[in-house]
Amino acid sequence: MSACRRMLYLVKHRSLLTYVRRNLTTWSPVGAAFNARPHRKLDLFQKNVGLFGVPELSCPAGFQVATETALKNTERLVEKACSSSPGVQTVQCFDQLSDELCKVADLADFIKVAHPDPAFREAAEKTCIEIGTVVEKLNTNVELCKSLKNLLDNPDIVAQLDPDTRRVADLFMFDFEISGIHLDDTLRKEAVALHVKLLDLNNEFLVGSHMPNRIARSAIPEHLHLNFATEGSFIQIGGLHADSPSDLISSNSPKICNSGGLGDSKLPTGMNVSLLAWQPVQGVSLPSAKCMLGLARAPVDPETAKDFKMMRGMKKKLSPRHSELMPWDHPYLSGVLRAERYNIEPSLYSPYLSLGSCMEGLNNLFSQLYGVSLMSEQPRAGEVWSEDVRKLAVVHETEGLLGYIYCDFFHRQDKPHQDCHFTIRGGRQCQETGQYQLPVVVLMLSLPHPTKGAPTLLTPGMMENLFHEMGHAMHSMLGRTRYQHVTGTRCATDFAEVPSILMEYFATDYRVISQFARHYETGQPLPESMVARLCESKKVCGAADTQLQIFYAVLDQIYHREPQNRSTTEILKDMQQKFYGLPYAPNTAWQLRFSHLIGYGAKYYSYLMSRAVASMVWKQCFIEDPLNREMGERYRREMLAHGGAKEPMLMVEGMLQRRPTIGDFVDALVSELNPNFETFIMDSES
């Protein structure tokens, strides 16, 4: 963007500068935009530009128009790919084909869960199904696969490909192979049928994982009925109610919620998973992941025993009549222990963490690390799905406009209660126009609305989640990949959470927090002692939390192995005894609530892997100076810029300027729990 154009941006948004609470606190334009209630000017003559500026999507029927256009372009690109001579243009054509479908499918995938209008949600759902069906057919299109195979089987042509193009070609071939393209016609049809059945079972499992269990009203004393939803002669129990003041509720609700009544405990992993679910993970070898999990247990288990001892003491204090420590007590009691020991009541912190101040802090951080500014823009008529959605332009000081982030931050009826990052449009170099297609993403949170007397105030947990999700968004914005198939967060699962987890370190460093956390009424900064208490509290029961994640990762891998002649509950009991310090509760099947079994599919360990990488990057590159521009530029250049176009280990190696060992990964996981862990690991390896 030219200096003149950037000046127009600044002049345009200068009017947003506002004073809050009798001029005691002054916010920057982006801070003011998020601390003020939205004020949209009603312009009856303004044209409806459609959702995200897509003209067809000014009404629900437009989804069918957009779908038909995408499918027509798809047919043309398939014909082009099959008839072209093998070369770079083959991969470019595949990527353009992928982009045509993703631009509609990804947008629809978001709208079907987020739009408040049922008609829009229904139309988007139909689009997802229609395009999903086409994708399944393309992944088993023999002629299309041959056009790519002709390229990859020619060593002379492959030698001329640049690394990014070669990797993208391999990834497209990988998609063909996991769809059974290499099988004969009979087996391929069987594989496709199994894949479709697996997708149906996955959806069935995800729905069931959130369904409440029922129990007869007569089974619970009448004075407790008000604590639960009712359905005729039944009471619905869909939560643990671990914080209930009633011992009867807190001790029995988890058993009912996690009882085997959800089904016969046969997860959709028992059929031919060696073909469909247990796939090689791009970027790291599974034996390495298993090795990391195994090595981490030795130093973590003894510390976990101490954590559970503390939890038992707290439960005995809170529930003398039901003092046995159960698996579902872990998250609740660890939170109680943190709050009691360090006095980290969220209401003490929230006045310093208005949404506007946090967004101002993110803007300052990105400006200092990358030379990037977040600039609030007024959405055009019909561009957003709710009037409280904010639109941010991401602008680099020399490169200009990098992309757009739509911030759907506030709670509303029928909106999912989860923090998510959605890619609406991936970035790519358009060969047909010579321009770069700018990425567009949505960040979805579920925050309270501002009131007449105060802006939206965040708890420390909410603030960390905001930084986490913004890490995903900046991964999408700062990437400049040639191919949208590997843009931003479209990377190996092992690596996808690294940028977001790294942002959590910035969110708890006082040198960063001190730049924005100030009381929304008085302007006073958040005391450093309060930040220190918050950071120290995170170490409480940290070993138990890590052991639980190791247990989840191992269980996920066991479930996605070859079929076993026993129920998932029997496997759960066995693995819980081996890998987790709390006993299995009879007649429960909590794995039926573990929805990540579907989302990750043998790759849940990636959360620990990403946390280890983020820890290494923070300690080596940012802990001395979290606002160091040189390190920020290296981080963008070595890690964020590549999306999925480069092997994760090569990106980590480029950032750390060394190749980390398995011991380094383990040390990064556990050293924050106890400073003596590092010595333990070094002694074990020697």
- For residues 66 and 104, is the Cβ–Cβ distance under 8 A? yes
Residue 223 sits at the vertex; the CA angle it makes with 222 and 225, to the nearest 5 degrees, is 65
Using alpha carbons, select from 661, 571, 582, 663 the residue that is nearest to residue 298. 663
Length of the chain: 686
Residue 361 backbone class (left: φ over 0; alpha: ψ -120 to 50; beta: rest): alpha
d(CA 228, CA 359): 37
- What's the DSSP call for residue 468? H
If one counts every other C-beta atom within 10 angstroms of the C-beta of residue 155, the result is: 8
Q: What ranges make up the beta strands (E) of 288-359?
A: none
Residues 6+ apart with CB under 8 A from 535: 508
- For residues 258 and 569, is the Cβ–Cβ distance under 8 A? no
Using alpha carbons, select from 335, 336, 356, 344 the residue that is nearest to residue 527. 344
Q: Are strands 19-20 and 25-26 parallel, antiparallel or unpaired?
A: antiparallel
Residue 403 backbone class (left: φ over 0; alpha: ψ -120 to 50; beta: rest): left
d(CA 109, CA 577): 39
Residue 488 sits at the vertex; the CA angle it makes with 378 and 385, to the nearest 5 degrees, is 30
Q: Where are the alpha helices (DSSP H) in 355-497?
A: 355-370, 460-478, 493-496
User: Quick one: how many helices (H) and strands (E) in the chain?
Assistant: 28, 12
Helix (H) or strand (E) holding 26: strand 25-26
d(CA 10, CA 367): 14
d(CA 184, CA 657): 46
- For residues 289 and 495, is the Cβ–Cβ distance under 8 A? no
542-559 and 329-342 helices, crossing angle to 10°: 160
d(CA 561, CA 117): 41
Unique residue bearing structure tokens 């055009």? 380
Residues 6+ apart with CB under 8 A from 545: 334
Sign of CA pseudo-dihedral 371, 372, 373, 378: positive
**633: annotated active-site residue:** no
φ, ψ of residue 213 to 5 degrees: the values are -90, 155
Using alpha carbons, select from 171, 178, 179 the residue that is nearest to residue 137. 179
Give me the catalytic one of 130, 360, 469, 504: 469
Active site positions, annotated = 469
